[in-house]
Amino acid sequence: MSKTHLNLKSVFNKEKTFRPKKHFEPGTIKFDLHKKAQASLRSGLDLKAIVVLPSGEDENDWIAVHVVDFFNRINLIYGTVSDFCTNESCPMMSGGPKYEYRWQDNDRYKKPTNLSASMYVAELMQWIEHLINDEAIFPTKVGTPFPKSFKTTCKKILTRLHRVFVHVYIHHFDRVHSMGAEAHINACYKHFFYFVKCFGLVDKKELEPLKEMQATICHT
């Protein structure tokens, strides 16, 4: 077994997940779609091809499955660098000097507020977890309609999750590289990038901080 594989196995484990993983109940449409998506990923198919809506499936179901999957995986990715992302090392949630992100949730933070990166991510993951566990927003029962605002909500979730990628790549890539996790995280990012581009779920300006990397690994 290679050193890289050992590193990845020790790094990408449940204990390092930043928030508890969200699961789909067996026997539901979303569980079946989740399994279909995971099987496509493992098969080594072109990532651009596997994000496309499967024939006969509902677009909202497909988006819901991927939002939850990206939530779980980005949790895991941030967990690998969280020990190095402290209030002292990262006092602002940012992606280099040009991009700073302020937190607002219309609950505890009614106005855009400067938070450290670790506090921003903690608030973000808690906020997403609340949304994806809300049956009125992410229904799991067959026949329960999605709200009209569903896609707008997903755009907001995925836009904010993309900021976690931005922070990890720009401020903690040395840590990612030293663990031998670069290829794994690149694959996760490519999957995310192709999906949000396919369904128009993250605005171009939000993708801007990683445009050079996108050109390299996503062949944009």
The answer to whether 23 is a known ligand-binding residue is no
Selection from 61, 59, 56, 12 nearest residue 35 by Cα: 61
Contact call for residues 61 and 33 (beta carbons, < 8 A): yes
- Chain Cα centroid distance, residue 70: 4
Integer Cα distance of 169 and 9 in angstroms: 20
The answer to whether 90 is a known ligand-binding residue is yes
Q: What is the dihedral of CA 170, 198, 38, 155, to 10 degrees?
A: 60
The answer to whether 66 is a known ligand-binding residue is no
User: What does the block give as tokens for 35?
Assistant: 């399994």
- Chain Cα centroid distance, residue 8: 18
Q: What secondary structure does DSSP assign to 68-80, as a single string?
A: HHHHHHHHHHHHH
Q: How far is CA 11 from CA 81, 83, 127, 176, in A?
A: 10, 12, 25, 10
Q: How far is CA 153 from CA 122, 128, 160, 196, in A?
A: 19, 10, 11, 13
User: What does the block give as tokens for 220?
Assistant: 């944009």
Measured in residues, the chain has a length of 220
Binding residues: 85, 90, 167, 172
Binding residues for Zn(2+): 85, 90, 167, 172
